[in-house]
Amino acid sequence: MHDGDTLRRFLFERFPVRGYVVHLDSAWRALVEHHDYPPAVRDALGEAVAATMLLAATLKFEGLLTLQLQGPGPMHLLVVQATHRMAVRGVARWRGTLPEAGASLAALSGGGQLTVTVENADRSNRYQGIVPLAGERLADCFEAYFARSEQLPTRLWLAATPERAAGLLLQRLPSGASASAEEVEHSAAAGDEDWNRVLTLAATLTGAELAGLAGTDLLHRLFHEEDLRLFEPGPVYFQCTCSRERVSGILRSLGAAEVHDILAERGSVEVRCEFCNRAWQYDAVDVAGLFADGGAVRGPRALQ
Ligand SMILES: [Zn+2]
């Protein structure tokens, strides 16, 4: 069964552990299509995309989840955004000499921090969590994030190839969180034992298997002796949220003088979206329209 570009939830029937497995195929290729990423940066971005989808799946929100990695190293900025509908976009910036593919996150980012921001569409709620980029792997940083923000033991496995970005998340839920009486009665000690067994099984997963196997095959390979409930997979896809309105806001925030300078120099103004590479064009009439109302200044944004 083909299960590319999907995210699937699963539950262990006999103890309170849940999981998600995500595979991005065409969505991943579309996300990197217009970028010439060096392998180390591409792989880090792929892992970040998979991790963002897994994080989005575990959270209750209706809006936008933004993951941002910033550090002093060669890969100094990485941004991934996902909606609650599982649309994703992302971009990474790098400079100087990069380490080989497979290098540690620390070598790529040079430390720094991981910021997770959740914004509900109605702006009713905004949440931000920050953890240091201290671990060897991006998954380590996410585990630190979950430990801090959700206080639920969570483990992640991430993998990326030029063709695919993939991730597996396991999360131990509080005992009694599920409706099953069997689970409620489960003792803490037995809960520890179950959680550790699940982690031991999952630890045998290789990056090649994670990126290469279909979700169901992967879960069967790891947990075929466990009683697992699989839910129907849902789609994940690439979609950019750039719009003329947003680009116009960025140009207004630059100010009339600067935009008119660009217009005078080049004959038109072009703003290219970093995420999807779409070019937004403004001719002299468009520019005049931008500032016709006195050029109400909106907040500048580093990335549209
Ligand atoms: Zn775009």
Domain 6-177+189-238, CATH: 3.55.30.10
Q: What does the pLDDT look like over 47-100, one tens digit per residue?
A: 999 999 999 999 989 999 999 999 999 999 999 999 999 999 999 999 998 888
Query: How many angstroms does the Cα of residue 88 sit away from the middle of ligand 1?
Result: 11
Within 10 angstroms of residue 76's Cβ, the number of other Cβ atoms is 18
Query: How many angstroms does the Cα of residue 65 sit away from the middle of ligand 1?
Result: 16
Query: How many angstroms does the Cα of residue 90 sit away from the middle of ligand 1?
Result: 10
Q: Residue 124's pLDDT is what? A: 74
Cα gap 122→125, rounded to integer Å: 8
Q: Residue 180's pLDDT is what? A: 59
Q: What does the block give as tokens for 131?
A: 């953890």
Please state which CATH class domain 244-290 belongs to: alpha beta
Query: How many angstroms does the Cα of residue 13 sit away from the middle of ligand 1?
Result: 42
> Over 90: is that where the pLDDT of 298 sits?
no
- Among 103-112, 121-130, 141-150, where is mean pLDDT lowest? 121-130
pLDDT-based confidence at residue 299 (cuts at 50, 70, 90): very low
Q: What does the pLDDT look like over 278-291, one tens digit per residue?
A: 999 999 999 999 99
Query: How many angstroms does the Cα of residue 227 sit away from the middle of ligand 1?
Result: 43
Residues 6+ apart with CB under 8 A from 69: 48, 75, 77, 78, 79, 109, 112, 113, 114, 115, 133
Amino acid at 130: I
Query: How many angstroms does the Cα of residue 277 sit away from the middle of ligand 1?
Result: 6
Cα gap 290→303, rounded to integer Å: 19
Q: Where along the chain do its domains lie?
A: 6-177+189-238, 244-290
Q: Name 126's bridge partners.
A: 119
Query: How many angstroms does the Cα of residue 222 sit away from the middle of ligand 1?
Result: 38
> Over 80: is that where the pLDDT of 3 sits?
no
pTM as predicted: 0.87
Task: Please give the sequence-ordered ranges of beta strands (E in DSSP) within 31-74, or none if there are none.
Answer: 63-70
Report DSSP state, residue 259: H
> Over 70: is that where the pLDDT of 295 sits?
no
